[in-house]
Structure 1
């Protein structure tokens, strides 16, 4: 049971746990950020807590697909060369570095560069994974099991939802700027409340798709 494959399976499960658990922590923090009856300083503390918690799910999001690719490679479910596998690992490590730079520079002017880099990479990856997943399901190559191709497509959708959530809560930044300037009123409160409402439905969809991915990984159904 200490063979590399089973160790990777264990790591895969742990990453799923951090992904879902961390996301729920972010969801809970967002509830207090959107509460207009709380002092601004307290809402900012919840925002800082949200960002600190969120870096763990973002880490899991980066590591889950590369660990899954390594597992598929070991079991012969994906037909790629070793150099391509190594390249995939290098890209994953680079992306992980970007994710942590986004967190580390969140209060710095440099943060804009890292945030843009992360978004551009996610858009490229979304397009690639959808195309790769669809072609693999159709041709049964280089992925030989269709359920893995479906997981890749779902993962791409999850990345898209993540980008949507970022756009949705961008109103919080506007809201906090106004609050720090002493502005108050229903129009300011609406920036927080409406953003959280939109994000809530996206989060529920997100968690449902994660559950579907988990089901596919456990049952590994024969499709097609």
Structure 2
């Protein structure tokens, strides 16, 4: 316990790096698997197997995404950027994100059921106020107000938070695409459907374009955290 307390920041930074690695690597795995999921030349069973692989890879990326924010806030509290989390605030923060992570895993484990889809949609809806709060808090910090205390030489922290919020927006769209995979494959299981195939091709094209922006954003978040340029 003494070791953990003495090295709290170093341990948090290590887990933060691991979460970022799983986020970036997982998204690449899903991207590559999507080529097979949307390939109409393959049998439906084969495509569903690739979709299952995509979901199993994606859950690690989603776990990384969820963990990055509380880890970053916890480190921000140690740096003195988030005094709001002093005392019991840090425990309430971690409880909130534990519930969020639980919803994420419930949606994954129940992904082929109506309950799983409902949990996924609920979790997506909860992201909208979170994204808005992150954007507002970040911009307030640049103006010298709000719960984040960042001055000259530490503006990288709210900038990183704003980029993370932007990444969540892209992630919401990519999650929507994956949820639609499940719904569309239910229809395709009943027989060939040109309309569903066309929708799959259209949506995956949009998702791949979004993925490139996603990777640039993730790389920028990594840069700000590592270099702290301003």
Is the structural similarity TM-score above 0.5? yes
What's the CA shift string for 1:66-97, capped at 9, x where partnerless? 11111121122332222222211111111011
Tell me if the contact between 2:103 and 2:123 (Cα under 8 Å) persists in the aligned partners. yes
TM-score w.r.t. the length of structure 2 is: 0.89
> Which consecutive aligned stretches of 4+ in structure 1 deviate over 4 angstroms post-superposition?
none
Does residue 133 of the first structure (1) align with residue 141 of the second (2)?
no
Distance 2:183 2:68 in 1: 33
Q: 2:171 maps to which residue? A: 162
Count residues in correspondence: 221
TM-score w.r.t. the length of structure 1 is: 0.91
Give the Å deviation of 1:184.
Answer: 4.4
- CA-based RMSD of the aligned residues comes to 1.8
Give the Å deviation of 1:176.
Answer: 2.1
Q: 2:162 maps to which residue? A: 153
Distance 2:96 2:187 in 1: 39
Tell me if the contact between 2:112 and 2:182 (Cα under 8 Å) persists in the aligned partners. no
Q: How does 1:19-30 map to 2 (within 5 A)?
A: 19-30=23-34
Tell me if the contact between 1:154 and 1:209 (Cα under 8 Å) persists in the aligned partners. yes
Q: 2:50 maps to which residue? A: 46
Q: 1:200 maps to which residue? A: 208
Distance 1:133 1:153 in 2: 6
Distance 1:169 1:108 in 2: 14
Q: 1:13 maps to which residue? A: 17
Flag the 1:184–1:107 CA change in 2: closer, same or farther, 3 A: closer
Distance 1:191 1:211 in 2: 30
Please, which runs of 5 or more residues in structure 2 have no aligned partner? none
Q: 2:73 maps to which residue? A: 69
Does residue 113 of the first structure (1) align with residue 118 of the second (2)?
yes
Q: 2:190 maps to which residue? A: 181
Q: 2:87 aligns with which of 82, 85, 110?
A: 82
Please, which runs of 5 or more residues in structure 1 have no aligned partner? none
SS in 1 for 2:111: coil
Tell me if the contact between 1:32 and 1:43 (Cα under 8 Å) persists in the aligned partners. yes
